[in-house]
Amino acid sequence: MSALLRSELLKVRTVRTFLWLALASVALVVIASISVSASTGAIGSASDDRSVAQIAAIALIFSLIGGIIVMAGEVTHGTVTQTLLATPVRERIVLAKAVVAALIAIGFALVAELLVLAITVPGASLDFHNARLVFLGILIAAPLAAVLGVGLGGVVKSQGSGIAVSLVWLLIGEHIVLLISESASKYSPGRAFAALASGERSGHVLLGMSAGGLASVVWAVAFVSFGLLVFLRRDV
Amino acid sequence: MIEVVDLRKRYRKATAVDGLTFMVRDGCISGFLGPNGAGKTTTLRILLGLVHPTSGRATIDGHRYRALERPLGRVGAVLEASNYHPKRSGRNHLRALAAAGEIQPARIDELLDFVGLGRAGRRAVGGYSLGMRQRLSVAGALLGDPQILLLDEPANGLDPEGIRWLRDFLRGFAGEGKTVFISSHVLGEMQQLVDEVVIIHHGRLVAHETVGELTARAAGGTRLRSPQAARLREALEREGIDARGEGDRLVTAAPSERVGEVAAANGIVLHELAADTASLEEAFLELTAGGGIE
């Protein structure tokens, strides 16, 4: 398994896609953090501390996209054929890709959190103590989002369609679910991950952090299982 | 040994492989021929575990590809030339493959030099010509020093020098007692290269024999030269064998063994007696009723 992990990490390191993803994530986090610092001055409440810390949740979107690219990118470029020739046991490939995508996501999340801290502690007097659960939630949510992305990447036939589907869901699908049933929408993927990253032990609009975390795990496991099933049956 | 037994692959609207059975012996160069859509690529991909068969089995050394231990060390495959990330260098592509196959990195530069990509190896594959990609595919196939090579149209995109390089390489590979199973549309090359051919049409086997047997069977006639040609023609006609020709040369549809026996029985001198063979292309077209060659 370590050989396969080395191979997958090499694939990530030897193209610039993930560097661009990291830079895009960093740019958005920096812009948002500077904007908050400039407009807020000093944060007045624990709730505001959590809201500001949630800027780092931008990394979740890029973790999801990274997971999709790790898995579906090979189908897009046709390199999945060579991967399967070297490792014909497809379950191992999906597992290795999930691990690698999760590691990348943890990196994205850590960088985002450090940047938020570096900019908003001096700029807006962010209290780390009040925000610590948000940072913990994002660190847990990022690898889960990446694993969900790997699952989605196993279902779609190109990374472009995978990214498009996920963004359309987050921007439109989540709102449609909310309009249909407010109580059911708390369990939708986007809102479950938002709850995990909220830092709130209980909530009205979202689930509490623990319940959101559990729902996020269920979504990640469900997606990666379905992605694996599709990948196992797919003719390449 | 490559073994395909009653293999079928049905897609929604079409049957690609329909009850195909054949076996390729170790240490043999076998050609895999068929018109467009005959099922060659599908069969090769089933052998490599990339496509799932509807029924039947395709095995290498008695095992499905998925069950092979260290598959790169047993089988090397050259498939389409476009299976590369355009921004990744050829060398890095091989590094990722070698890491997954637990192959020593030192082999990478050795193989890049061998296929003539020593300097180009550090460039992104997106800038490679089709021929360079084919050479990179060959390097990838050889990473694990395999005993069997499966090649799907490896001459595609190669210039004449590249085709010659490929032919010399395959001869050398087979010369070490290793097995080559190759699909190609360059039938002239195939005739020079392969020991035997497996020909399929509409997903079914239509011939599996040596090139010599196939070409002789396809033609089935005899060319002969004799200073007593007129006497020989009469002797053949008495035996019900039709012969035609001018001067001392005759051509007949009868097999050479029969013609030789008639000449000997009548004490007729022969200066030449040769089985008239067809080219592999002629034999192929005869067997597949003129279908286009994939």
Residue of B43, B95, B138, B143 to mutate when probing chain A, most A C-beta within 10 A: B95
The pLDDT profile of chain A, 236 residues, written as one tens digit per residue, is 789 999 999 999 999 999 999 999 999 999 999 998 888 766 778 888 999 999 999 999 999 999 999 999 999 999 999 999 999 999 999 999 999 999 999 999 999 999 999 999 888 888 889 899 999 999 999 999 999 999 999 999 899 999 999 999 999 999 999 999 989 999 999 999 999 999 888 878 899 999 999 999 999 999 999 999 999 999 99
Sign of the CA dihedral A119, A125, A129, A132? negative
- From the CA of B165, how many Å to the nearest CA of chain A? 23
Contact A79 B95 (CB under 8 A): no
Chain B residues whose CB is inside 8 A of the A88 CB are 49, 65-66, 68, 71
* Inter-chain touch A235–B45, beta carbons under 8 Å: yes
B276 is written with which tokens? 């008239």
> Burial of A39 by CB count in 10 Å (0-12 exposed, 13-18 middle, 19+ buried)?
exposed
Q: Which residue of B75, B92, B100 is in closest CB contact with A87?
A: B100
Element (H, E) at B182: strand B179-183
Q: Is B139 on the interface with A (CB under 8 A)?
A: no
Q: How far is CA B250 from the centre of its chain?
A: 34
Q: Are A87 and A5 in contact (CB under 8 A)?
A: no
b/e map of A173-184 (b: 16 or more CB within 10 Å)? bbeebbeeeeee
Q: What DSSP element (H or E) covers B198?
A: strand B196-201
CA distance B156 to A42: 67
Contacts of A235 in chain B (CB under 8 A): 45, 50-52
Neighbours of B205 (CB within 10 A): 17
- Predicted local distance difference test score (pLDDT) of residue A14: 95
Helix axes A209-233, A128-155, angle to 10 degrees: 20
Q: Is A132 in CB contact (< 8 Å) with chain B?
A: no
Beta-carbon count within 10 A of B161 CB:
10
Predicted local confidence at residue B293, as pLDDT: 41
CB contact under 8 A, A82 and B71: no
In the predicted structure, residue B291 carries a pLDDT above the cut 60: no
**pLDDT digits over B169-226, tens only?**
898 898 898 999 999 877 877 888 898 999 999 999 999 988 888 877 776 678 889 9
Distance from CA of B41 to the nearest CA of A (A): 11
- In this predicted complex, what is the ipTM? 0.89
Total domains in the fold of chain A: 1
**pLDDT exceeds 50 at position B158:** yes
Q: What pLDDT score does B82 carry?
A: 61
Residue of chain B whose alpha carbon sits nearest to that of A1? B100
Across the interface, do A77 and B83 touch by the CB < 8 Å criterion? yes
CA dihedral A192, A195, A197, A200 (to 10 degrees): -160
Cross-chain CB nearest to B87 (options A16, A86, A88): A16
Q: How confident is the model at residue A118, as a pLDDT? A: 95
* B292 — pLDDT class (breaks 50, 70, 90): very low
Residues 6+ apart with CB under 8 A from B9: B15, B16, B17, B39, B42, B43, B46, B51, B53, B54, B203
The answer on pLDDT for B81 being more than 80 is: no
CA distance A78 to chain B (A): 5
Name the closest residue on chain B to residue A76, using Cα atoms. B85
Residue numbers in B near A85 (CB within 8 A):
48, 50, 71-72, 75, 77
Domain span including residue A133: 2-233
CA of B69 vs chain A CAs: smallest distance (Å)? 10
With a cut of 50, say whether residue B150 has pLDDT above it.
Answer: yes
Residue range B18-31: average pLDDT? 93
Q: Which residue of chain A has the CA closest to B9?
A: A235
Q: Which residue of B has its CA nearest to A6?
A: B99
Range A222-226, long-range pairs (CB < 8 A, 24+ positions): A222/A151, A223/A147, A223/A148, A223/A150, A223/A151, A223/A152, A224/A94, A224/A98, A224/A147, A224/A148, A224/A150, A224/A151, A224/A154, A225/A151, A226/A151, A226/A154, A226/A155
B86 at the A interface (CB within 8 A)?
yes
Q: How far is A141 from chain B (nearest CA, A)?
A: 29
Each as own residue / partner, the long-range contacts of residues A15-18 (CB below 8 Å, 24 or more positions apart, any chain) are A15/B85, A15/B87, A15/B88, A16/B87, A17/A69, A17/A73, A17/B87, A18/A66, A18/A69, A18/A104
Average pLDDT in chain B: 89
Q: List, in sequence order, every residue forming a beta bridge with B31; answer none if it has no partner.
A: B182, B197
Cα–chain-centroid distance for residue B11?
26
Predicted TM-score (pTM) of the model is: 0.86
pLDDT above 70 (res B147) = yes
B292 shares contact with chain A (CB less than 8 Å): no
pLDDT by residue (tens digit) across B247-266?
Answer: 898 888 888 888 899 999 99
Question: Is the CB of A85 less than 8 angstroms away from the CB of B71?
Answer: yes
Q: Note the residue count of chain A.
A: 236
Rg, Å, chain B Cα set: 24
Residue B48: list chain A partners with CB under 8 A.
84-85
Interchain pair A10, B52: CB under 8 A: no
The pLDDT-based confidence of B13 (bands split at 50, 70, 90) is confident
